[in-house]
Amino acid sequence: MTLTAGQKAPDFSAIDQQGAPISLSQFSGHKVVLYFYPKDSTPGCTAQACNLRDNHQQLVDAGYVVLGISTDSPKRHQNFIAKNSLPFALIADEDHSVHDLYGTWQLKKFMGKEYMGTVRTSFIIDEQGTLINIINKIKTKDHSAQILA
């Protein structure tokens, strides 16, 4: 399924790093940055998370709630948050059901091997739950600027 700007963002139910239920609909009335990334504590994912951390107040001031999502467990998310002082929730999508809704679980190639994995993508969602931007070419060290542009 390919999502495009102007469509309703698919609602989902998952759990956050504390194991608490989290869904897109609970953020109705807020703009949301829903960013899908491959794996906690890898260089690119850490750079991206830290860029969002360092510019978090600017994003909040612009009205955004930031939510990261990967297939890592809540425990891995807790460690990643603690290690990098992340001020936003991370969603554990271990069965990649939310990834499937957003089309970010895809066949990837690396060093001649094919495997299923997360395609790094950010979905910018308005207060009514409509996709207003989809960022596919993520600059991990400057992602906040891409969102605020």
**d(C-alpha 24, C-alpha 41), whole Å:** 25
Is 50 assigned a catalytic role?
no
CB atoms within 10 A of CB 146: 15
Residue 118: C-alpha distances to residues 30, 60, 65, 87, 92 (Å): 25, 26, 21, 23, 13
Catalytic residue among 9, 45, 66, 138: 45
Residues annotated as part of the active site: 45
